Amino acid sequence: MTDAPPTRGSPADGLPATSPSWHARTPDEVLSLLGSRQEGLTEEEARARLERHGPNVIERQKGEGPLKLLWRQVNSPFIWVLIASAVLAIAMGKVTDGLVVAAVVVLNTLIGFVQEYRAGKAIEALSRMVPENATVLRGGRKLSVPASRLVPGDIVELASGDKVPADMRLLSSRNLQVEEAALTGESVPAHKRVEAVDAGAELGDRTSLVFGGTLVTSGTGTASVVATGGATELGRISQMLSEATDLQTPLTKALATIAKYITGAILVVSVVLLGVGLWRGYELSEAVVVAITLAVAAIPEGLPAIVTIALAIGVQRMAARRAVIRKLPAVETLGSTTVICSDKTGTLTRNEMTVQALWTPAGRYDVTGVGYAPTGELRRGADALRELPGDVRELLVAGALCNDAALRGQGDGWEMTGDPTEGALVVAAEKAGLRVDAVRSECPRLDAIPFESEHQFMATLHDEGPGRRRILLKGAPEVVLRRCAPADGVTSEEVLAEVERLASEGMRVLAVAVRDVPASQAQIREEDVAGGLRLVGLEGMIDPPREEVIAAVRTCHEAGIVVKMITGDHPATAEAIGAQLGLQAEGTRGITGAQLAQLDDAALREVAVSHHVFARVAPEHKLRLVKALQARRHVAAMTGDGVNDAPALKQANIGVAMGITGTAVSKEAADIVLADDNFASIAAAVEEGRRVYDNLIKSLAFVLPTNLGLALILMFGVAFFPIQAIGGDLVPLMAMLPTQLLWINLVATVTLALPLAFEAPEADVMRRAPRDPDAPVLNRFVLMRTGLVALLMGAGAIGLFLWEYRRELPRVGHGVALAEAQTMAVNTVISFQIFYLWMCRTLTGSLREVGLFSNRTVFAGIAVLVLLQAAFMYLPFMQRVFGTAPLSVESIGLCVLIGAVVLPVVGLEKWLLHRGGYSVVKQVHRDEEGPRPPPPTGTSRGERLPA
């Protein structure tokens, strides 16, 4: 909530000239500033204010239309060169060549268009969070009006189950609790009260305010509207969401850079080649065709399809590991993540309040394995409580009786109804072997004082058998203790010290007390709970960390990924959970949103890196933290489930929303949705992301030598091949036709490169540091390997082309000899590709390390290509389209033999790398990993922070 709506107008307008902190004002002051009254505005006032302030709706921002999305797919260097090549080819009479190139453009454009079509719906989801109707007082009359017509100064009535229609200041309340997790991250409903709070209170501590889009879970109240539409907390988040930027992923940036350089090089070389052709006597049309052919040869047309399909395979694998990918590039981005900023409730923790400690005057009892799971599973394993001391049994029974929560079901199918805190007390009793329903039947409730925020306790009167009735009271420890008589053997100071110890461990503490009353008493009187009670003990509870998350955090640290907790929950709770998870040292203080608000951008960047637990943060704090980490060159993943997380989710390099507890807003803003709301699934997705990236690099190392090799073949022919007189025309000799080059680039290369996407992860994939997102994909190692294989491929294809052409020319003439020689050159290149594919399964290691049969799709890819190549050579239709000719078994065997040369040569290169101490390999890793993020540290609250 902002401190005030826009600062224009006067009290009569319903907007003050100054900017008050509504939560710090009394109800009378609020009504005076708003120019309103207890009986509400008149209809005339409401209409006038609606005209001035507009409807209570969040403006929708339209996403990109289909045409804009389509244009973005076309507007790339590769595509423009291909379009120009297709147009020139058709203009020069090469219609078949031009249409084939145009088909490539259409295919790549459609793949990208479908991939991005459903993005950008987060703000539309925000608008759906505002309810349709609200109950208001207008001129003293109770009316139901559309929520969109609420104005500042309206008096609204709230009841259990209502969705709050706007930001409002409470005027009255009775046991009012509001579920605000979507905005604040609190794991339990917030108790609301009328009393003003400190002006500097954080969003989660503004107990006198209720916010639009939240849900009333119990109680009733009346409140005055102080902000509507875009001025609400929800509207402010919507504005931040629209301003947050969608960042390019490291891979898309790297591929864009590659495309830029390759396109520039192709244009330069094409112009040079055009000049060389004209200088050597080529006709202009032939010289232009040669330049087009070079562009077709050098552009990796199949690369976009390979990348998209490899990412799609990663999507399927991540879905099996409970991570649903909404945007394909997010798969690869996970692999380069350096820091994960995680929400606490439900992601790092179970999202179930669990009793962790019991205290009686006789001592403390630690409790583990006790809790209610939202999935319906009633956790077992609290056998330590089966043998109960009498004082512990009394404490558990009292906590379960003075309680409105209930468990329903049997076996493993349990459902809890009621307040989560009270539910934890019931579950603790059940786990201890007590049957709460039976105990409640034996000790029926006769009367009750329900919990209200004004007195902070609940009291019940029970009939415990003939001649015995007892009052049970539970509530805030300091409130209960004031009503208790001195306990035997323990002082009030000792009890409060124990409360402090439990609270310092992040626990919410409830005290339980009892008092015997006459058997004839049927109601609880005020004096019965004013004093003279006996303290039974304390119950400390917390939303505990998930067991599997502790191991997942350790895995992330081993992988060089820093994990940070950013939550709206209480600092003590966040610090305790952070210590249990290993995010920071025990006793280390976290950072609050109030402290972050006092830091400038430079100081915030330092704190964002050095600290790992942030509590009581508002949406703008989360957004600033993500931006600060990105300013320090981190690739930031952000998890969240609430509306308050949406701007940071969108701003982060990778946004991760919760599938179970997540709001529609957070899911639409995110790139990934976790099906199980579990942080451990993020760690698994990171591993999959790194594997995807490794396999994409293998695909790139496989594809680029083919394009460079084809370009070398063409350039060598233009520079040195003879120009022959055929039928009165000067015809240049070309080792391959443009359609044949496209066959290699699109069919052969894609068919062989796709199996690399199925390679298993390298053994050290989660032991290496994250790669530097700014490091070039085309590092020194990839460039050296590309040049080496391209030279081998070019030399082999040119040699066999010339040998076959000269051998067959005297016997069959130019046309047939040229077709056979070109077909032989194509087969030679494909043979090189098949053998080189095996070397790319591990770029620097031995094939024995990955296993010959560990990726059976390689065999499938080779088999498919062999069949396609047979059709390419022997089917008459294919011969007409691609200008090929059938080859003998002897000629095919020669192509295979020459192609196999790549095995010993690349094998020797790998051996030299190993013998040289992995110097080039280490350089590859430095290029890919970048700087390792610092491990979790124990920085104290005071370092680089305001007092």
Q: Report d(CA 149, CA 622) in Å as an integer.
A: 32
Closest CA to 550 of 577, 523, 571: 577
From the candidates 13, 167, 343, 772, which is the catalytic residue? 343
Q: Report d(CA 798, CA 679) in Å as an integer.
A: 55
Question: What are the Cα distances from residue 119, in Å, to 113, 116, 246, 325?
Answer: 11, 6, 11, 12
Q: Report d(CA 821, CA 801) in Å as an integer.
A: 5
Query: Would residue 343 show up in a list of annotated catalytic residues for this protein?
Result: yes
Closest CA to 721 of 731, 712, 732: 732
Q: How would you write 22-51 as a 3-class SS string? A: HHHCCHHHHHHHHCCCCCCECHHHHHHHHH
Q: Is 156 helix (H, G, I), strand (E, B) or coil?
A: strand
Q: How far apart are the first and last CA of the chain?
A: 24
CB 808 within 8 A of CB 820: yes
Question: What are the Cα distances from residue 238, in Å, to 126, 367, 638?
Answer: 7, 43, 18
Q: Using a CB cutoff of 8 Å and minimum separation of 24, what contacts does 159-163 make?
A: 159/135, 159/216, 159/220, 160/216, 160/217, 160/218, 160/219, 160/220, 161/215, 161/216, 162/131, 162/215, 162/216, 163/129, 163/130, 163/131, 163/213, 163/214, 163/215, 163/216
Q: Is 834 helix (H, G, I), strand (E, B) or coil?
A: helix
In DSSP terms, which residues pair with 932 in a beta bridge? none
Q: Report d(CA 132, CA 551) in Å as an integer.
A: 45
DSSP assignment of 590-631 equals -EEHHHHHT--HHHHHHHHHH--EEES--HHHHHHHHHHHHH
Query: What totals of helices (H) and strands (E) does the chain contain, helices first?
Result: 35, 26
Q: Give the H or E element holding residue 157.
A: strand 155-159
* Residue type, position 707, single letter: N
Q: Is 654 helix (H, G, I), strand (E, B) or coil?
A: strand
What residue ranges in 49-132 does DSSP mark as E strands?
none
The three-point CA angle 224-226-230 to 5° equals 135
Q: Report d(CA 228, CA 145) in Å as an integer.
A: 14
Q: Which pair of tokens denotes residue 156?
A: 């609204």
CB 346 within 8 A of CB 677: yes
* Residue type, position 592, single letter: T
* Matching residue, tokens 């503490």: 509
Q: Exposed/middle/buried for 393, CB within 10 Å: 0-12, 13-18, 19+?
A: middle
Q: Which pair of tokens denotes residue 149?
A: 């017509």
Phi and psi angles of residue 772, each rounded to the nearest 5 degrees, phi first: -75, 120
Q: Report d(CA 702, CA 682) in Å as an integer.
A: 30
Active site residues: 343
